Amino acid sequence: MTINFDKYTNGLVPAIIQDSETKNVLMLGYMNDEAVLKTQELKQVTFFSRSKQRLWTKGEESGNVLELVSIKVDCDQDALLIQAKPKGPTCHKGNDTCWNEKNVQNFGFLSELETIISERKEISEVAPEQRGKDAKSYVVSLFDEGINKIAQKVGEEAVETVIEAKDDNDDLFLNESADLLFHYLILLKAKGFSLKDIEAVLKGRH
Cα(124)–Cα(17) distance, integer angstroms: 41
| Residues 73 and 124 grouped into a single domain | no
Number of domains in the chain: 2
Domain extent at residue 192 = 109-204
| Residues 164 and 81 grouped into a single domain | no
- Find, among 106, 108, 104, the residue nearest to 86 by Cα: 104
| Residues 200 and 113 grouped into a single domain | yes
| Residues 77 and 117 grouped into a single domain | no
Burial of 109 (0-12, 13-18, 19+ CB in 10 A): exposed
| Residues 57 and 118 grouped into a single domain | no
In a domain, residue 146? The reply is yes
Q: What is the CA radius of gyration of the chain?
A: 24
In a domain, residue 3? The reply is no
Q: How confident is the model at residue 127 (pLDDT cuts 50, 70, 90)?
A: confident
Cα(99)–Cα(174) distance, integer angstroms: 37
| Residues 35 and 71 grouped into a single domain | yes
The SS3 assignment for 146 reads: coil
| Residues 135 and 70 grouped into a single domain | no
In a domain, residue 171? The reply is yes
| Residues 115 and 180 grouped into a single domain | yes
**pTM to 2 decimals?**
0.74
Please count the CA atoms within 13 angstroms of the CA of 28 that sit on its side-chain side.
5
In a domain, residue 191? The reply is yes
Cα(51)–Cα(53) distance, integer angstroms: 6
The 10s digit of each residue's pLDDT in 26-55 is: 999 999 999 999 999 999 999 999 999 999
Cα(172)–Cα(150) distance, integer angstroms: 22
The 10s digit of each residue's pLDDT in 61-105 is: 999 999 999 999 999 999 999 999 999 999 999 999 999 999 988
Strand partners, 84: 19, 68
The CATH number assigned to the domain holding 55 equals: 3.10.20.810
In a domain, residue 65? The reply is yes
In a domain, residue 100? The reply is no
| Residues 50 and 137 grouped into a single domain | no
Domain boundary among 36, 54, 86: 86
Cα(116)–Cα(143) distance, integer angstroms: 13
Angle at 158 between CA 154 and CA 161, to 5 degrees: 140
pLDDT number for residue 20: 96
The CATH number assigned to the domain holding 114 equals: 1.10.287.1080
| Residues 116 and 181 grouped into a single domain | yes
